[in-house]
Amino acid sequence: MGLIEGHLDVGAPEGVPIWDIDPYATDVLENPIEFYREMRAKGPFVYIPRYAILACARYAQTKEVFSDHERFVSSRGVGLVDFKQTTPWRPPSIILEVDPPEHTRVRRIMAKTLSPKVMREQASLLQSIADQMVAEVVAMGEIDGVADLAERYPTTVFPRILGLKKSNGRHLLDYGAMVFDAVGPDNEIRRASLSKGEDVVPWIMKQCERDNLIEGGLGAGIYTYADSGDISEKEAGLLVRSLLSAGVDTTVTGIGSLLYCLAENPEQFELLKDNPKLARSAFEEVLRYTAPVHSFFRTSAGDTEVSGIKIQENTKILCMLGAANRDEDHWPNADKYDVTRDVQGHLGMGAGIHGCVGQNLARAEVSAVLTAILAQVDKIEFTGTAKWRPGNSIRALASLPIKLTKKEA
């Protein structure tokens, strides 16, 4: 039983098909839908010998593995590397890569920091910037929806809400890519992202320090819990780092994918314009349909069983969240984007105790952008071919050539 990609190879469970596929191949990452479909068709699980991992793509099994934090832990890494076997590239996140009771203690602090009440207090700032930015891109006519809006908006508003004294949008984007690409194998994608670390990581760590955070921002607020003794000064810095690593990339992806879905489905945009109350469900459907985080790992903490499959301790399990969100047995007409769909239970923001801690902020940001679009935009049309950026964990657009037609007064 040797190490492969930083974890133990425990072999294929009895009855599980072996599939010689590379889920991190560029063509799969750029266009994964057929890959998702084929994996689901093979059964509840498949064993992928290239990386010595078990993988699940159907909704029921993926949700069970991803949600059960006692049997399938995050503390051994949400990527290929097993932290019990190999030292990670950076100190583990004290919220994403820990289990209870440690997770419970820090999660409570993050939940308060990013509560719906706090987001409501930020609503006017989020909306005013969204209104201005959407007006600017409408005036431009033809734009790249990624660079001109999806990346620009979060890298503008997030540093202000967090309270960074200094901001660098490029560093924020690159650090987010580093964190999410690092969960995959030692491929070109991972190496390209981590190669930026020499410049990016020291800057990120510097911004996490108390002295570089403005009083009244979310970052400084986290440090008040260190003052009260709930967490240490070091832990406060790591929680700020968690916000910096996950507070931008997924929101960028969500806004880009929203624009893509509305351009690809003009009839759904018409439904949305006729009934703006569908805005919340329209974004939740984006999360289901495009799954910004396409996959994360769990590690089996002991011998267990799922759907009749016996799973050994130390098994790395690739949870294909994007595939589960397209499971026709759970979602009728799963390959259709439908703003009227009841998407309760989708895995676009994770599930269980490790559901995305920043989801309230992400939803608040996207809601502000969508509100501005509904008020100002009549049509969203492709002016070229959208290109997806292959990522080891994030499914994001690299470019989105579109035209926004102004709504008549």
- The domains found in the chain, sorted by start residue, are 3-406 (1.10.630.10)
Say if CB 291 and CB 395 are below 8 A apart: yes
Residue 71, pLDDT score? 97
Neighbours of 226 (CB within 10 A): 18
Residue 23, pLDDT score? 97
> What is d(CA 350, CA 353) in angstroms, rounded to the nearest whole number?
9
Residues 6 or more apart whose Cβ sits within 8 Å of residue 54: 12, 13, 16, 45, 46, 47, 48, 311, 315, 316, 317, 318
> What is d(CA 148, CA 8) in angstroms, rounded to the nearest whole number?
44
> What is d(CA 23, CA 42) in angstroms, rounded to the nearest whole number?
15
Is residue 310 within a helix (H) or strand (E), and if so which, with residue range? strand 309-311
Residue 107, pLDDT score? 86
Token pair listed for 26:
């560029």
The SS3 of residue 218 is helix
> What is d(CA 266, CA 272) in angstroms, rounded to the nearest whole number?
10
Is residue 300 within a helix (H) or strand (E), and if so which, with residue range? strand 296-300
- φ/ψ (deg, to 5) at 406: -65, 140
The SS3 of residue 72 is strand
Residues 6 or more apart whose Cβ sits within 8 Å of residue 60: 44, 307, 330
The SS3 of residue 22 is coil
Give the CA angle between residues 81, 87, 88 to the nearest 5°.
Answer: 60
Distance of CA 366 to the CA centre of its chain: 14
Residue 89, pLDDT score? 74
- What global pTM score does this model have? 0.94
Distance of CA 57 to the CA centre of its chain: 17
> What is d(CA 64, CA 290) in angstroms, rounded to the nearest whole number?
21
Residue 18, pLDDT score? 98
> What is d(CA 194, CA 196) in angstroms, rounded to the nearest whole number?
5
> What is d(CA 125, CA 121) in angstroms, rounded to the nearest whole number?
9
Closest CA to 249 of 211, 193, 321, 187: 193
- What residues does 143 pair with on adjacent strands? 402
In eight-state DSSP terms, residue 54 is E
Q: Where are the alpha helices (DSSP H) in 216-325?
A: 218-227, 233-246, 249-264, 266-274, 279-290, 321-324
Using one digit for the tens of pLDDT, what is the confidence trace for 131-169?
A: 999 999 999 989 999 999 999 999 999 999 999 999 999
Residue 74 to residues 31, 78, 138, 241, 297: CA-CA distances in angstroms?
27, 6, 43, 18, 8
Tell me the CB-side half-sphere exposure of residue 272, using CA atoms within 13 A: 31
The SS3 of residue 311 is strand
Is residue 402 within a helix (H) or strand (E), and if so which, with residue range? strand 401-406
Residue 236, pLDDT score? 93
Neighbours of 127 (CB within 10 A): 16
Token pair listed for 83:
């932290």
Give the CA angle between residues 153, 121, 234 to the nearest 5°.
Answer: 80
> What is d(CA 390, CA 27) in angstroms, rounded to the nearest whole number?
8
Low-confidence ranges of the chain (pLDDT < 50): none
Is residue 4 within a helix (H) or strand (E), and if so which, with residue range? strand 3-4
